[in-house]
Amino acid sequence: MISQEIKEMWNELKHVYLLNTTQIRIMFFVLLGGFLILLLKLWAYYITDSMALKSDALESLINILTGSFALFSLFFGNRPADKNHPYGHGKIEYFSAFFEGGLILLASILIVYEGFEKLYLGIHLKEITEGLFINFIAGSINGIMGYILILKGKKYNSQALQADGHHIMTDFYTTISIFLGLLIVYFTDIVWLDPVIAILMGFYLMYTGITIMIKSTNSLLDTENYEIIHKIIDAINDIDEPTIITAHATRVMVSGNFCHIDIHFVVPEYLTVIEANTMIHDFEVKVLKKANLKGEFHAHADPCKQNYCRICRIRNCPIRVDEYQESQPLTYSQATSWPKEDKDRIIL
């Protein structure tokens, strides 16, 4: 029994790899690059004894740890839905992002603490020129990798890739800031600037880590996703389908790169159940393609009740009671609103 479950899981993982080969290879090469960058930054710290460069190397170590977790989330999160996980495994990416934010926060606290400790105990910098040059090369490689990760994360709608990319870009920005700050130390011999730069970097990383944790928590709690709902609304407005008079009660739950969309479509009440069902299913496919989303609709057909004649574009409607005046594009407030009769059906 257990061996059969292991075999099934192994087959699922192989299937996930075949479907997400590009993403997984990207993360694998980013991890290899991360090891190289960490070695360069540790070398730069060793030959300078700079607190600022040490903090930069510490962040690169966190990049490797979080990148490893992100790689795991790509394997696990893209497994297909099963009996125990009917909505799939995609939310593991949000745990990955939360874990990453927590590590960034922990690193920032350590950096700030050691920075103040250095100020108190005294600063003794060694050869700084060579160390700055090495650290700048490492930071430049980081910047290129982070930019690629963000682009690929948006392309594949992967929050784990994007979070890791933003983290690496943060490392790049801080490396540049440290490089400029230590140049000032080199030319002015104001050595106390070294721990001060590290402390400022620590506070910046603290803000970054908290922001990532809040964003991933909101995703885990299915906070309203404005970006995806706007994509759905734009797609509905762009597709010419007169029998979809309007929509409301739109909700979206995102699991990895897969969207579960709840929506109520208002359709002409003279349609049969089969006609309304067929028309709505065809419309859903068009909306997903137009919005460039992976997902599924859970749609409810509401009868028009002859309340929308003034905006209904159906010609020769057999039940029209008012003349057509003008069509109205679906707005965000309309798409997410709940009519009273729908609210009354909700049991709390």
Which of 168, 189, 220 is where one domain is finished?
Answer: 220
Same domain? For 155 and 249 the reply is: no
Q: In this structure, is residue 348 part of a structural domain? A: no
Give the CA distances from residue 190 to residues 128, 134, 135, 204, in Å, rounded to whole numbers and listed in that order: 13, 21, 20, 22
Same domain? For 47 and 181 the reply is: yes
277-300 burial by CB neighbour count: b if 16+ within 10 A, else e?
eebbeebbeebbebbebebebebe
Tell me which residue has tokens 């709505």: 280
Count of structural domains within the chain? 2
CA torsion sign for 245, 249, 254, 258 is negative
Which of 220, 249, 265 is where one domain is finished?
Answer: 220
User: Is residue 57 a contact partner of residue 201, using CB atoms and an 8 Å limit?
Assistant: no
Same domain? For 202 and 285 the reply is: no
Same domain? For 108 and 207 the reply is: yes
Same domain? For 212 and 301 the reply is: no
d(C-alpha 165, C-alpha 100), whole Å: 11
Q: Containing domain of residue 259, as a range? A: 226-343
Closest CA to 144 of 29, 23, 52, 257: 29
Q: In this structure, is residue 66 part of a structural domain? A: yes
The tens digit of pLDDT for each residue in 248-286 reads 999 998 877 788 899 999 999 999 999 999 999 999 999
Closest CA to 198 of 279, 115, 121, 87: 115
Same domain? For 306 and 339 the reply is: yes
Same domain? For 174 and 292 the reply is: no
Look up residue 73 and give its two tokens: 């989330």
The tens digit of pLDDT for each residue in 51-87 reads 778 878 877 887 787 777 767 766 676 666 677 777 7
The tens digit of pLDDT for each residue in 194-228 reads 788 878 878 888 888 898 889 888 888 877 788 89
